[in-house]
Structures are given as structure tokens and as C-alpha cells.
Amino acid sequence: MFKKVWYFLQGHANYLLWKRDLLPVYLVEQIYYRFGKIDNNCFNYNECQNQKCGCDLTKQLFSNKTCDVGYCNYPKFLSEKSWRKIRALSLVQKRRAYGKERLGE
């Protein structure tokens, strides 16, 4: 129960920081990467369609919650050092760009 509350608060806080351009770049890049990985059904309904949890997808993607069900399959946030090591992979670059495009940025 506590984890669900934590993820909810973390997702809302990170979302607000992102809207004000105050979220660290490495987290912003991971959020774009996550948006690029989510299933189209989830994206269109703005809630998780695979787990049927009814979570607001936007806030879920901004929390440290993982999704390993269906097509989304994204991990917890990585540290800045770990993210730098893997972001050079072309797949990460493509997914992040696709997620950014989906958000209209």
C-alpha cells in the first residue's frame, strides 16, 4: 500500500517539475524513452490497458514504477551514471525521440 502512495506522490511531483523544466535532464530523457515504449492502447486511453490497474499513464511514467506487462516493458529509473552508459545505444535514442514526438515536443 505504501509503495502505491509513494509512486503516486513521486509521479505527480516529477510531472510538476517536468512542466516547469526543473527535472534533471537524465530523468527527462528516461521519461521520453518510456513514452516511446508504451503500448498504443495505453497511450490513446492515457491509462494502463495491460495491467488494468487504471493508473493515469502520465503520472505512472513519471514515477519510479516499472511496467513489465504487455508491450510497454520499461524499467525503473536509472542513476545518472548508469543512464549515460546506455543512452549511447541507438535503440534508446530512437525510443526517446519517438516518445518526445508523441508528446508533441
Does pTM surpass 0.85? Answer: no
Question: Can you read off the three cell numbers belonging to residue 88?
Answer: 549511447
Query: Do residues 47 and 57 make contact, with C-beta atoms less than 8 angstroms apart?
Result: yes
* 36 C-beta neighbours (distance < 10 Å), count: 21
Query: What range defines the domain where residue 51 resides?
Result: 2-102
Set of cell numbers at residue 94 = 530512437
Structural domain total, the chain: 1
Please classify residue 90 by burial: count the beta carbons closer than 10 Å to its beta carbon, then call 0-12 exposed, 13-18 middle and 19+ buried: exposed
**How much is the average pLDDT of 10-26?**
93
The pLDDT tens digits for 26-77 are 999 899 888 888 878 778 887 777 665 666 777 788 999 887 666 677 788 9
